[in-house]
Amino acid sequence: MKALMLAAMQSGSGKTAVTCALLAAARRRGLEVHPFKTGPDYIDPMFHTKAAGRPSRNLDLFLQGEAGVRRTLATAGATAGEGLALIEGAMGYYDGMAGGTDAGAWAVADALGIPAVLVLRPEGQGVTLAAQLYGMLHFRSPSHIAGVLFSGCKASLADYLAPIVTRETSLPVLGTLPPCDAAKFDSRHLGLQTPGEIADLDARFAALAELFEQNSDLDKLLALAADLPAEHPAQTRTDSPACRIAVARDEAFCFTYADNLDALQEAGAELCFFSPLHDEALPKDCGALYLCGGYPELHAEALARNAPMRQAVRQAVTSGMPTVAECGGFLYLGQALEDTGGKSFAMAGALPGEGYRTDRLRRFGYLKLTADTDSLLLRKGETLPAHEFHYWEARQPGGDLTAHKPGRDKSWQCCFAGPTLYAGFPHLHFGGSLPLAERFVAAAATYRQRKAE
């Protein structure tokens, strides 16, 4: 398997559109493509998944560690056989945590030895663009930068800029994705709209692939990809599941790492997907509940109307069913939630407090959670890397865990964490060093056995 990264100098350069165009174009050629995204992003991988026809996974050095990142590549099948592992870098290429490069796109490329192609959106620049690229090339050694692609750039301008860039930097310019309606995706407060909200997405990907192939040298681009060392993926369990876990999945709850679901299955769980929006009851015979993040604030009224589901979830949580609820899932467990217009609607009522909108991004970025006592996922004294990204707040955010911001002298109490519960704003990745999935599944199996007795 070969691997290549698409990165940029900053967000908003068109990386996701170019990544999806390349995934769709390579797939049309019959190439097996495995998409990835550096960092803790949820929405861009949804687009990758649609374009590639298989789940996109995150490669996050902070949440997973290098061993976890390598394990994700192996588990996804990206280090065996023919095909391409295509990785979209988050933010700017060198932008990492705490004002450094750690856990950023370059750090992933460096740890794995993967070449990177920079996606640039030139605006009012000529040789100055080459000067910026020269700086990118020499900021870290090795830079792993192997080429350039233009985005939102007409073919005529690309033809003018290409020889300048190559003359001044020796980097090959591999083409452009010209301006087109298919590459325009609307945004909201947490990023792009989700793919499920775009009716003509498959047709748009086909148009992107066609336009990209017409204006780029796909063969030279693919030739830049480097071989990944073969590793053995984790073995999939074939015995009977130890438990069934109800997993929320619909328009309101859609922020889930593919690795988290894989980890739960590998730990012995059967996943039973349900919709808090559209279903009236939880899946039968489940021993645990997983409420991931998403956009409950956009669907607050519809969630409130589904009183049978709210009652079922409240009963499950208060009766001791092991529950993990992250960010949006945590807000759903509260007493009420404001929608985008500021109107409050009743939620599940399993936890105290209400969720309310704010006018800015609240806690944002990486953090570490430390457990003061034993709980469902953590043992006393353990520290767990996590991530937050939300505009909504909770009047009672919990106080059972201590959060600390890496690189800053800042800490606070957060989350509800008990013997059968993890609920809070921080998102968790089950592919790190702590056995979170195994603990969750073990608790679910115990609950199921107790209910059967």
Taking the C-alpha atoms of residue 108 and residue 94, their distance in angstroms, rounded to an integer, is 10
Please tell me which residue in 243, 327, 414, 415 is annotated as part of the active site. 327
Q: Is 327 a catalytic residue?
A: yes
> How big is the chain by its Cα radius of gyration, in Å?
23
Put residue 320 in one of left, alpha, beta given phi > 0 → left and psi -120 to 50 → alpha.
left
80 C-beta neighbours (distance < 10 Å), count: 15
Residues annotated as catalytic (active site), given as ranges: 327
